[in-house]
Structure formats: structure tokens, C-alpha cells
Amino acid sequence: MSALETEAEPTATSSGFMRSATATLQHARYTFAENPVSGIAFALFVVLLICAVIGPAIVPYSPLASDTAAALKPPSLQHWFGTDQLGRDMFSRVVVATRLDMAIAVFSVALVFAMGGVAGIAAGFFGGWIDQVVGRTADTIMAFPLFVLAMGIVAALGNTVTNIVIATAIINFPLYARIARAEANIRRDSGFVQAARLTGNSEMRIVLTQILPNIMPIMVVQMSLTMGYAILNAAGLSFIGLGVKPPTPEWGIMVAEGAGFIVSGDWWIAFFPGAALMLAVFCFNLLGDGLRDIVDPQRRT
Amino acid sequence: MLSQIARRLLTALPTLIGVIIVTFLLTRVLPGDTAAYFAGPAATPQAIEEVKKKLGLDRSLPVQFVSYVEALAKGDLGASLSTGQTVVKDIRTRLPASAELTLAGLVLGIVVAVPLGILAAVRQGSWIDHLCRVVATAGVSLPVFFSGLLLVYLFYYRLGWAPPPMGRLDVFSTAPNSITGFYLIDSLIARDFETFRAAFAQLILPAVTLGMFALAPIARMTRASMLAALSSEFVRTAKASGLSTRAVIVTYAFRNAMLPVVTTLGMVFSFLLGANVLVEKVFAWPGIGSYAVDALIKSDFAPVQGFVLTMAILYVMLNLLIDILYGVIDPRVRIEA
């Protein structure tokens, strides 16, 4: 906690802010140097980002173009990741799929950040009935096995990608709401909030200018920690046939398409999208851990 | 102790009510025509109208809720369009398969994770500690459907050690007489060791897949809480009193370190019940997960709803059990309660 308070809480003066920003940067450099794994994760993240942004432009084949003459070929120089049963180039499909998988995860995390953040801050700062409602809602969601609830939500809302984003956001809601609530609650009557109140700031303004900036770092760490889970969850849903429709390239559905070929030994169709998925989740989990070490050194495990 | 259990049962009641309300809302209020869902994809407008009447969807929401709860109390979850059976019957016949798989996975996970976590904490910084960290990070990053497929490729296709991933028994075996519904136990009761071997061979890969998944959070938590226990004052006192290392670790540190681990089990169950659905799909396991997935694809909505409700109730029960277990391990919880 101490690092957080020294670097984030004095938001009043700009020079203080600059000083703390430099300190944070130094600390970040130190953490990455101390922990090379975080460095590797960051490099992986850059690769993922490149694939997501310019992936469709750099792949050698169209991800949808089938070529039955070259169907079910193992990895070769022409087709680095082999071809599937329709002769589509797996490398192109895996790279192009990055954008959709990342987009689902980013949008769902942004959505839950907004929902959970607003609800949690309101609950922690104002207390009373808002706290009750938010707490009960979070408890009820937590009463379900989360993946099962996501299945139910997608089934009820309709089988689309948007609803996968919404379902993934809803099942993460309790986590975000609880963290935001706890962090807002311990600052509700702290010195700088009372000072702001005494100088005549409205409660709404206090939330926006005092509470929100201070709980931001912890929420951002939470976002990177849940990114991996969001990718995993969305890919799991599309693996069982929800959301993304074939022939759209997406890692979960590509693993599902390749699953039938595993038993006959054609491993590459399921292997490469699965490996990409695993690397992406691994990267975000490590990145989240590294980010947490920077923001909140006491929670290191 | 009994009164504490009774009190804990009462606190589960609001959760159960919440669960029922959410499952109700999932079917009735959200966009999408419920009647069309229930009537199936090939229904005519008249059929949908009829279903609407039959389900009482033309009445007000509170009235609908009351009749929904009434039906639930009678154990009526509707009928599945694709199997032609009532959902309750389908789920009852398929639940043991899921339970056997989940429990086998959980037991495997605990048996590996707890010693691993203890050793990692006792020999902090050694290779086993690093192994524990790698396993814990890799385990949470591994999509179960992918690790399951990798195991199938390696042990079925490459090595030929495992049978094909096609359900609970190979085609040559017949299911044992159902007593518990667990093939492993039923075949032992019937002293049919051939069937036991066949069921075991089918179970091992999906159970290992689930176990690998459950292992990570348990190992991580065991390591962390063992570290905390080992650096505590009562362990220092025990050591200073000249007790053997074994006695200090097993009797003093381990018992106290188990409390957070048992709490983590609640979260592990949440993950496991979800992962179970994916593993069942990979291994064509005839459990309630694959039942729900099949129904979802066919827009057969009553089974999905029944599945979500069953899983939620199971999960609430499991959490209840964990709380009671907590009281058994830690006498202080009993006194405070």
C-alpha cells in the first residue's frame, strides 16, 4: 500500500505529480530488470499487439481462401502451421484471429471496468442501500459457477459475439465491484477527502477528483490480471459453439474444428490456435503479476 | 456444532432465492422470444402461440414467477425437445457421470498440489519451489479443452496407452448395475474387475485434464499459507521446544495452513464445474455438461436452464460443505459462531 500512497495520493500539485511519475517509471524499470519473465511477457504482448493491429495485412494467404488440393497438409515451408481440411492456411488463420480474440477480451474488460467501477465506488463511498444492492448483486453472481453462468447468459441473450462480451463482463463484475468498493470505502473519510469536503467540493466532484484517481492503479492491475481470464472464457464459449460462427477465424472455434482430427493424428489444426491462445493468456497473467509488483509491492506472492 | 450447521443452512437461503430469480430472469425477461426458444427452431407461429399459452408467458411477470417456483418445487424443469424426456430425468441419469469426473479431477489435483505446495514452502528457493511456481502459472493459463486434446494426441494417438476419447466405457463393456452411479464404485461392488479397468482407462485422461487445471490454485495457496504458517511464532516455539521437523511441519504448520486452502476450494469448484463442461465435450463424456452444450446448439432451452440451475444449486451446496469443513478444522470458528 505504501508505494501506492506515496506515488498516487498527492495529485494536488503538478510538480509533485511529475516527481511521482518519474519515481514510478524508475520503479517499473527496476521491476522489469529484476524479473526478466515480465520482460518476456511484455515482448509477447508487443507481438500480440502487432498481430491484432496489422495481422490481416501481413499474412501470406487469405484466412478464408480454401484450396482443396492442399487440404490437411502438415506444417511446411509454404504453410508454416499446415492447412486444415479445406486447405486453408492455418498460420494466416491463427494470426488473423488475434484481432477478434483480443477485441472480445478488451471490450469485455473495459465494460466490466466501467460497470464494476461505478457500482463499487458508489457502494463504497455512499454506503447505505446502494451498498446493499451492489453487494447482493455481486453475491448472487458469485453463487453460480462462472463459466456456467456465462453459458446461460449467452443462451438467453442470443448467440452472438456481442453477447459473449457482455457475459464475460457480467461474470467478472463481482471482482471489480468488490475491489472498487473496498478501495473507495477506506478513503471515504481519509484526510484529503475531508479537506476537499471542507473546501466546499460537492460529493460528486470528490468522487471524480479524489477517489477515482487514487483507486485507478489498482483497477488497472485488475484489468490486466483479468484479461487472460477473459480471453480464456471467450475462447471456451466459442469452443462449445457459442458466439463466433465458422468460418470466422477465432482461436476457440479453430481448436474445436481441429479436435476431430486429433484422433487421426492431424495435430496441427488444433495445436497452433490452442498454443496461440495459451501464450496470450500466459502473457497477460505474467504481465498482470508484473504490473501488480510495480503498483502494489506488498501483494507479491 | 449442529446448531451452527443449521444457522449456516439458513444463510444459504437468500443465495438460493437469488439463484432462482436469476435463472427465471434469464429465461423470461431478456430479449429474445422465450416461447420461440421453447418451441424449438422449426416451430410454426401457431405452435409458438400455443407454447406461449402453455408456459403462461401471456401472464404478468410476478404470476409467471410464482408458477415457475411452484413447478420447481414439484421438481418440474420442463421437457427437452431433442431427447424427448423431462429435463429432471435427463439430468438425473447424467449427473453421476459428471460428478465422478469432477471428483476424480479434484482428488487428483489435491493429491498432487498439496504435497507440492508444502515442499515448495519448506524448501523455499529450491528447484521444487520453482517447479511449483511454473506449474501454478502454467496451470491457470492452459485452456482445458486444449490440454485435453494434447493428452488425447499424446496418449491415444502417439503412444496408444489410452482408449479413444469416447465416453465412459468402450464398446465391449457394459455398464455395471447402478448403485451409486459411479462406474468405478459400482463395478467394484459387483466385483466386475474387467469393467472397473475399462471405466478407469476411460476416466484417467479427462480426470488428469481437470486435475491439471485444479492443481494450480491449490498449489499456489498451499505454498503461500504454508510459508505464512512456517514463519509464525507458534512454529518457532515448537521448533525451540525441540520437536522434530516432521512434527512441526505436519502437526503445527500444516493444520493451520489448511484453512486458507479449504477456502480456496470454493473458487476451485467454481472453475472446475465450468471446466467440466469443456472437458466433457472433448472426451464425449455423457455428463450434464455435454447435455447442456448439445441443447444449446439446438436452441433447446429447457435443458440449458435446468443445467444452469442444477449447477448453481450444487455449487451453493458445495460452498456450504466447505464452510462446515472449515468449522471442523478450526475450533475457533465454532466458538465465534
Domains and CATH numbers, chain B: 94-287 (1.10.3720.10)
| A75 found inside a domain | no
Q: How many residues does chain B have?
A: 337
- Whether B265 and chain A come into contact, CB under 8 Å, resolves to no
pLDDT, residue A26, reads 74
Q: What is the pLDDT of residue B69?
A: 85
A90 falls within a domain: yes
C-beta separation of B279 from B210 below 8 A: yes
Structure confidence by residue, pLDDT tens digits, B207-247: 999 998 888 889 888 888 888 888 888 888 888 888 888 88
Which residues of chain A from 137 to 156 reach within 8 Å of chain B, CB to CB? 139-141, 143-153, 155-156
- The residues in B 230-259 lying below 8 A from A, measured between CB atoms, are none
**CB B163 within 8 Å of CB B156:** yes
DSSP A123-153: HHHH-HHHHHHHHHHHHHHHTS-HHHHHHHH
Chain B, residues 132-151, CB within 8 A of chain A, namely 137-138, 140-146, 149-150
For chain A, what is the domain count? Answer: 1
The answer to whether position A254 is within a domain reads yes
pLDDT in tens, B146-198: 888 888 888 888 787 888 887 787 777 777 777 787 878 888 888 888 888 88
Q: What's the pLDDT at B38? A: 64
CA gap B260, B274 in Å, rounded: 22
Kindly report the number of other CB atoms within 10 A of residue B39's CB atom.
Answer: 24
Asked if B94 and B101 count as a contact pair (C-beta separation under 8 A), the reply is no
Residue A101 in any domain: the answer is yes
A106-154: pLDDT as tens digits? 999 999 999 998 999 888 888 889 888 998 889 889 888 889 999 888 8
Q: Å from B152 to nearest chain A CA?
A: 7
Domain-embedded: residue A173: yes
List the 278-337 stretch of B: residues with Cβ below 8 A of A. 278, 281-282, 292-293, 296-297, 301, 304-305, 307-308, 311-312, 315-316
Phi, psi of A264 (to 5 degrees): -100, 10
Cα–Cα nearest to B157, from A265, A222, A223, A298: A265
Residues 45-74 of A with CB under 8 A from B: none
pLDDT at B29: 57
C-alpha angle with apex A288: A286 to A293, nearest 5 degrees? 95
What pLDDT is recorded for position B10? Answer: 82
CB-based contact B146 A149, cutoff 8 Å: no
**CATH code for the domain of A273:** 1.10.3720.10
Range of the domain at A90: 31-60+85-299
In a domain, A21, yes or no: no
Is the CA virtual torsion B211, B107, B289, B171 positive or negative? positive
**Best residue in B25, B38, B130, B146 for a mutation probing chain A (most A CBs within 10 Å):** B146
How many other C-beta atoms lie within 10 A of the C-beta of residue B248?
A: 19
For chain A, the residue count is: 301
* Cβ(A90)–Cβ(A118) below 8 Å: no
pTM, full prediction: 0.84
Within a domain: A19: no
Per-residue b or e along A105-127, where b marks 16 or more CB atoms closer than 10 Å to that residue's CB: bbbbbebbbebbbbbbbbbbbee
ipTM of the complex, rounded to two decimals: 0.85
Residues of chain B with pLDDT under 70: 1, 28-41, 55-57, 333-337
Whole-number pLDDT of residue A6: 40
**3-class state of residue B309 by DSSP:** helix
B312 to chain A: which residues are within 8 Å by CB? 143-145, 148-149
Domain contains A177: yes
- Neighboring chain B residues of A146 at a CB cutoff of 8 Å: 270-271, 274
- The three grid cell numbers given for residue A32, joined into one nine-digit string: 522489469
User: Which residues of chain A fall below pLDDT 50?
Assistant: 1-14, 301
Choose, out of B149, B209, B223, the residue to mutate when testing the contact with A (most A CBs < 10 Å): B149
